[in-house]
Amino acid sequence: MVFCRPGKSVIMEEKIGKDGSYYLWENHELLVLDELIWELKKIKSSGIVKFKSESPVLFVVCQDIESAEKLFFLARKAGFKQTGIHKTRKLIGVEIRSGEKLEFPFIKDGKLLGSEEFLLEIVNQSNFRRKLGWEKIERLFNLFN
């Protein structure tokens, strides 16, 4: 069994305390500048709003520890450096993830902390990292052939 999250970009309002942060917007595809600007215009917040881009994550349930170890080493070979084997009483799995992340505040007290050029760079950097993650998934699948 394989669970896959292709990576995502989110806009989240930072909350301190037990409520924690929550998502104002979420996207699993490549970003488009105009769409990002459109979403930002809808945000009404008097606090800190962060942008976060996360790399793809795969979780593969394995039959035994030997299979998990083989997959672990293939994933590392494909470039997934943040990969680990998880074992419980009922489950052996490999969590395959990479480190292509971005996270930073970009709205404070309702004001954008940068220009449209800054937003374009966010889009470019996020898309670059998302594509790197997708390329690693492709490399991993090619290692099985």
Write out pLDDT tens, residues 62-85. 999 999 999 999 999 999 999 999
Domains along the chain with CATH numbers: 2-57+99-143 (3.30.1960.10)
User: Of 19, 16, 22, which is closest to residue 50 (Cα–Cα)?
Assistant: 22
Structure confidence by residue, pLDDT tens digits, 79-114 = 999 999 999 999 999 999 988 889 989 899 888 898
Residue 142 has pLDDT above 90, yes or no: yes
For 115-139, the pLDDT digits (tens) are: 999 999 999 999 999 999 999 999 9
Residue 83 to residue 57: CA distance in whole angstroms: 9
pLDDT for 20? 66
The b/e string for 118-129 (b: 16+ C-beta within 10 A; e otherwise) is ebeebbeebbeb
Tokens coding 88: 């419980």
pLDDT tens profile 6-42? 789 999 988 776 666 678 999 999 999 999 999 988 8
Single out the residue of 126, 142, 5, 16 nearest to residue 74, CA to CA: 142
Any long-range contacts for 16-21 (C-beta under 8 Å, 24+ apart)?
21/50
Scan for tokens 């989110």, then name that residue. Answer: 10
Residue 52 clears pLDDT 80, i.e. is over it: yes
- Tokens read off for 8: 């995502």
